[in-house]
Structure 1
Amino acid sequence: MSITREIGAHYAPGNGTLFTVWAPAAKQVDVVLKDNDQIIPLQREAFGYWTALGEEAGPGTRYTYRLDEEMERPDPASQHQPDGVHQASAVVDHTNFQWNDKNWKPLPLEQLLIYELHVGAFSEEGIFQGVIGKLPELVDLGITAIEIMPVAQFPGSRNWGYDGVFPSAVQESYGGPEGLKKLVDACHAAGIAVVLDVVYNHLGPEGNYLNDFGPYFTDKYNTPWGKALNFDDAHSDHVRNFFIQNALMWFRDYHIDALRLDAVHAILDTGAKHFLQELQEQVAHLEMQLGHRCLLIAESDLNDVRLINPMEKGGYGLAAQWSDDFHHAVHALLTGEDSGYYSDFGKLEQLVKVLQHGFVYDGLYSEHRKRTFGSDATANPARQFVVCSQNHDQIGNRMLGERLTQLISYDMLKVAAGLVLLSPFVPMLFMGEEYGEQNPFLYFVSHSDKDLVEAVRKGRKEEFSSFAWQGEAPDPQSEETFRKSKLQRTYEHSASHRQLRDFYKALIQLRKSAPALAQPDKARLHVYADDHTHVLHLIHSGESPYLYALFNISNQPQKTTIVKEVGAAWKLVLNSSESRYGGAVSDLPQEINAGQALTLPAASVTVFQSNIIL
């Protein structure tokens, strides 16, 4: 039986605020109301929880916890840090927000067209309200879900969000709890679901006071970011509860539709029931209360289907996971890069395999990892994999933060778009890719600890050592680094960028309207490739009319032959080389037949449709 208990400050109109904190080693714990310096002793309960009702504490009340009459700290489960990570917490009232989304119906996985964004870099304002102002653009593009990089309170005003130290407090410089609720409400009004990126594998260093309260960390393991969180050592039940309550809060109090769980391979747990399974079980209980699905999507570099397999088959039951293999297969093929983890990729046959099976490394030996790696995902439905050609990690963890815009040709950008959006998987775009944003997306922080800033600078340089990148890494602490990462929205005044965006719109519209892509299925996907010409044939045969996509993944025109197994009368529905999409070739045949020879323009995507297939 897992231990689940609400923690933090919970306000009830007319009753005041119930304060609950876990501090198992403390002899005495008080809550200090900073507005009037009132001190309220907390009562110790089972397992080291302390609780008391503050009848005078209402919304906005600043408070800290005092441990053993010596040390004052913000609430580990704080939901608002209005004055930053080192100052008092504030009580949040979740009863007074006027939600307008009672008619919102969460979207099924296969209907998600995800757009990943960073709140600070996405709009000129760099706040939640700025995102709201751009929602019409995303609706026009055809996006059905946004994925927000982490908003848990971090030090300073600019950060990727993975240095958060108060997992339940919404970043004040973005607009705080009220701002996030307004954004979610506006998204639902626009028909857009909200995926929130959360970090349960580590906390940032600055403002991290968890160890003052209890054994939140363990010496058993280390992660790339320091000591591991305690998911399976002594007292781990309560650490697990800390993060489970966080997930439930986002779904319940903020109406979030899905959580993207950052780097779950760094959630180290050797117990009989993995934390991720327990988390999914608790979310399932909440789903029954709310009456709708709440999705958990894992980021993992393990290629392990246990994450997404049903619990009755020994899995954790999560809804989906990212497929890094898809990204790496596409990136290495289009760019020719072969350093770091790209050394394991670069063959056209790997792209074929990942399209058909979900993973490339499914029990194969990885030269980069120097070990056999991965599991077979063939039996898992396509909707369980989120794929992309660009995301915050794959751009921002490059030394110079270059997007594909800087690495491949304009026409090849359209090929990358087609591979993602015509795949059977759940597609995700990274902000700005739809028009070829020129600005990089760099790593940025705004720490106040000088030693920590130097450590971050040194760590970034070491991280790049396995890649053959030239140049000097930009300073993560510099405000200029952050400003360079903001979107320019060049499509508003650049014809070629507008045409690229129009091509993305056409692909998205095709994905949303084509019956063959309504419920994409790997088992009803036929993939053929020619290593000599680098032409890929992708046929979706699920529902009629069927789709036949041809990708010329080379920089020269290539001859190919329509496979003989398909029927006749395939009509042209999309051609990336048309002038309206910034191309120079528009004389492709309007109709093709099985066995017909065809010359494809260089770096192109061509899509045909037919009601007949053999």
Structure 2
Amino acid sequence: MSIRREIGAKYNPGEGTLYTVWAPDAADVKVRLHKPKPQDIPLQQEAFGYWTALAEEATPGTRYTFLLDEEKERPDPASLSQPNGVHEPSEVVDHHSFSWTDTKWKGVPLQQYIIYELHVGTFSEAGTFEGVIEKLPQLKNLGITAIELMPVAQFPGSRNWGYDGVFPYAVQNSYGGPDGLKQLVNACHAQGMAVILDVVYNHLGPEGNYLRDFGPYFTNKYNTPWGEAINFDDAYSDPVRNFFFQNALMWFRDYHIDALRLDAVHAIYDNSAKHFLQELQEHVHQLEEQEGREFILIAESDLNDVRLINPTERGGYGLAAQWNDDFHHVIHAMVTGEQEGYYVGFGTAEQLAKIMTHAFVYDGLYSEHRKRTFGSSTARNMAQQFVVFSQNHDQVGNRMLGERLSQLVSYEMQKVVAGLVILSPYLPMLFMGEEYGEQNPFLYFVSHGDEDLIEAVRKGRREEFASFAWQGEAPDPQSEKTFKQSRLRHSYTSDANQLHLREYYKRLILLRKSSPALAAPDKDKVEAYMDEHEKVLHLIHFTKPPYIYCLFNISTAPKTVKLNQEKFNGNWLVLLSSADPMWSGKGHSLPQELQGQTEITIPAESILILQEQK
């Protein structure tokens, strides 16, 4: 019998529900069906610590728990649904009954991803999957090709970022449960949009985490910010690895998810001969062959290590892409002037030019913040392997007051930053609300039930901010007010500047899609340079003609600069100026066509996009 097997409650119409649970130290395991009268069904012990039994009477909607050695009654670690929360019985789910309409869906090529990260609970007034569905036409209109959902695995209470999930297989009940997520994915595919789901394989939350009662899911070999590490390489680690392999495959197979964003993989500790991430990618490839379509794994890591995305023949794990924090840090430090905490060592003109062609700043250089040499070279990696952003849930929400960039820089500078992300050669990602300059903060919030835990979270948040020079009192994460403050206003329909900003984002995205030089960017065919004094970034895309020349004035004064004459004849069409009044700009004096131009004046805090004319 294989260690690699499906677990949990698997319902098959006409047969009943097959229960499988891993409990290697138990002498006796039963499944208790909560029908109105409890019924206990003994499970049979199998190899590698698995227990299994078929319950013909268990149908969709049946509530159940596992009884370990007649002492501990617990929900299913691989529960697909927790309708009454993390401490109550699990529920049988039928994955066969949903009426999918996306049978012809083959996904969006990774190179065409324009990502929109959102939190289900605060994206809409409803705070549900249905609330997201209602706004999908707006995202389609903006030009988004993939939405990224922050984690939806069941967490305690109804308010949480999602990284305190304790049932990795169960879809949050307050969002709409399993069917609600399927409806959202189905609706996205109908709009031509892919769905990325954020999953957490480096830890589980503290409240409602019953995995230790079943087996050695954790190890004290390593320490993480959340306590003991998940057991990926210690004794009994094979079934633990299987637990997470099967989870990833479930999202792809049963929920038709297109890509998974793997949270903080630097906290997945594994010294096995074959790393968990490499083996996960192998299982995903096998599923691709079975399903006949591509499934994508994107890592979040703060290590600047291309081993994650290098092919296995070059000693890598073979993942499709990874998030790039360096890109964010350079831009944020430059436009805000912040130099505390992890922004130490970021924000120079040289770095801004470098990230446009090398992705990382620290690619084998000494980091003052880390006090060590850091990172690896991206010379052999494609641009589409890096996801870039100027804002995301971490970079906004882990500020003490949750300020978005719209509260930190001018309206004009917001447009400059948008251009840096969307016109870069990498995969651009927007954070919900940034496209119109949302004014509400995005704060950290929880709804735990344990008072000691609540106080520990409050204390931990205060300690996190110690290395930054932020003033004020951190909002209470447990307060419902903190959660409500974080909800998007979607106010661009009643605010002219916000509407113009959204239209500006829309135009940038359209340019990226329609211009041959931008639609399939190659960072080896991008030239970038910037003078530290002038503060104007020259970004030239010459992947395919007609070539695109972008000028970004980061300074607060107009600048006259010389255009690069080595590759170009000096005849240009002005595609876009962020200073144009149509974007609520202060205006510019440039004609639409420039003939033989060698110098050009760019308004303060603005960008100019030129297209070469032969």
**1:180 and 2:181 correspond:** yes
User: What does 1:177-216 align with in structure 2 at a 5 Å threshold?
Assistant: 177-216=178-217
Q: What SS is found at the alignment partner of 2:137?
A: helix
Aligned residue for 2:377, secondary structure, equals: coil
Partner of 2:475: helix, strand, or coil?
coil
Residue number in structure 1 paired with 2:572: 570
1:151 matches 2:152: yes
Match of residue 119 from structure 1: 120
CA contact (8 A) 2:161 2:444 kept: yes
Q: After superposition, where does 1:540-551 map in structure 2 within 5 Å? A: 540-551=541-552
The equivalent position to 1:588 in structure 2, one of 590, 594, 602, is 590
Amino acid at match of 1:22: W
Query: Tell me, what secondary structure is at the counterpart of 2:466?
Result: coil
Is the 1:4–1:241 Cα contact (8 Å) retained in structure 2?
A: yes
**1:136 partnered with 2:167:** no
Query: Does the 8 Å CA contact 1:516/1:544 hold for their aligned counterparts?
Result: yes
Q: Structure 1: how far apart are the matches of 2:591 and 2:272? A: 60
Q: What code does the residue aligned with 2:426 have?
A: F
Report how far residue 421 of structure 1 moved. 0.2
SS of alignment partner, residue 608 of structure 2: strand
> What amino acid does structure 2 have at the position aligned with 1:237?
D
Cα deviation digits, residues 170-224 of structure 1 (max 9, x gap): 0000000000000000000001100000000000000000000000000101111
Partner secondary structure for residue 517 of structure 2? helix
Distance 2:296 2:595 in 1: 42
Do the aligned residues in 2 keep the contact of 1:566 with 1:594 (CA within 8 Å)? no
Query: How many residues in Structure 1 have an aligned counterpart in Structure 2?
Result: 612
Which amino acid in the other structure matches residue 103 of structure 2? K
1:571 is paired with a residue whose SS is: strand
Question: Contact conserved, 1:152 with 1:165, CA < 8 A, in 2?
Answer: yes
The answer to whether the aligner puts 1:601 opposite 2:599 as a matched pair is no
Counterpart of 1:4 in structure 2 is 4
TM superposition shift of 1:611: 4.6
- Whether the 8 Å contact between 1:563 and 1:595 is mirrored in structure 2 is no
Structure 2 alignment gaps of length 5 or more:
none
Letter in 1 for 2:368: E
Q: Which amino acid aligns with 2:11?
A: Y
**Equivalent residue for 2:266?**
265
In 2, Cα distance between equivalents of 1:456 and 1:49: 35
Secondary structure of the corresponding residue to residue 82 of structure 2: coil
C-alpha distance in 1 between matches for 2:515 and 2:502: 20
- Following the alignment from structure 2 to structure 1, what is the Cα–Cα distance between the partners of residues 380 and 3? 34
Cross-structure match for 1:77: 78
Instruction: Give the corresponding residue for 1:51.
Output: 52
Quote the residue 1:508 is aligned against: 509
User: Residue 254 of structure 1 corresponds to which residue in structure 2?
Assistant: 255
Contact kept in structure 2, 1:364 and 1:374, CA below 8 Å: yes
**Which residue of structure 2 lines up, in the alignment, with residue 296 of structure 1?**
297
Structure 2: distance between partners of 1:33 and 1:300: 42
Equivalents in 2 of 1:277, 1:167: separation in Å? 20
CA distance in 2, matches of 1:408, 1:565: 35
Q: Deviations over 1:65-85 (max 9, x none)?
A: 000011100000001000100
- Name the SS for the 1:572 alignment partner: strand
Aligned twin of 2:457: 456
Question: Cα deviation per residue 1:279-300 (whole Å; 9 max; x = unaligned)?
Answer: 0000000000010110000000
Q: Which consecutive residues of structure 1, in runs of 5 or more, have no partner in the other structure?
A: none
TM-score, normalised with respect to structure 1:
0.99
Compared CA separation, residues 328 and 593, structure 1 to 2 (3 A): farther
CA distance in 1: counterparts of 2:395 and 2:515, whole angstroms: 30
Q: CA deviation at 1:312?
A: 1.1
Cα distance 1:49–1:250, how it changes in 2: closer, same or farther (>3 A)?
same
Q: Distance in 2 between matches of 1:594 and 1:76?
A: 68
2:469 aligned residue: 468
Amino acid at match of 1:112: Y
Amino acid at match of 2:108: L
Asked whether 1:398 is paired with 2:399, we answer yes
1-structure distance, mates of 2:3, 2:38 = 33
One-letter amino acid of the counterpart of residue 339, structure 1: E
Deviation (angstroms), 1:3: 3.2
CA deviations 1:37-57 (Å, max 9, x no partner) are 111100000010000000000
Q: Does 1:363 align with 2:364?
A: yes
- Which residues in structure 2 correspond to 1:156-171 (within 5 Å)? 156-171=157-172
* Counterparts in 2 of 1:256 and 1:586: CA distance versus 1, 3 Å: same
- Counterpart amino acid of residue 609 in structure 2: V
- In structure 1, the partner of 2:18 is 18
SS of corresponding position for 2:301: coil
Q: Secondary structure at the match of 1:136?
A: helix
Determine the structure 2 residue equivalent to 1:236: 237
The answer as to whether partners of 1:492 and 1:498 remain within 8 angstroms in 2 is: yes
What letter is aligned with 2:284? V
* 2:447 alignment partner in structure 1: 446
Deviation at 1:518, TM superposition (A): 1.8
CA contact (8 A) 1:540 1:547 kept: yes
C-alpha offsets along residues 349-401 of structure 1, whole Å, 9 cap, x if unaligned? 11111111111101111000011110001210000000000000000000000
- The runs of at least 4 aligned residues of structure 1 exceeding 4 Å deviation read none
CA contact (8 A) 2:588 2:603 kept: no
Q: Per-residue displacement from partner, 1:523-563 (whole Å, max 9, x unpaired)?
A: 10011211111000111101111111110011111111111
How far is the alpha carbon of 1:477 from its aligned partner? 0.1
Match of 1:30 in 2: 30
Q: Is the 8 A contact 2:82 2:173 kept in 1?
A: yes
Amino acid at match of 1:495: A
The alpha-carbon deviation at position 594 of structure 1 amounts to: 6.2
TM norm structure 2: 0.99
1:610 and 1:595 mapped to 2: Cα distance? Answer: 11
Q: Report how far residue 595 of structure 1 moved.
A: 6.1
Which runs of structure 2 are paired with 1:389-428 in the superposition (5 Å)? 389-428=390-429
2: CA distance, partners of 1:531 / 1:382: 25
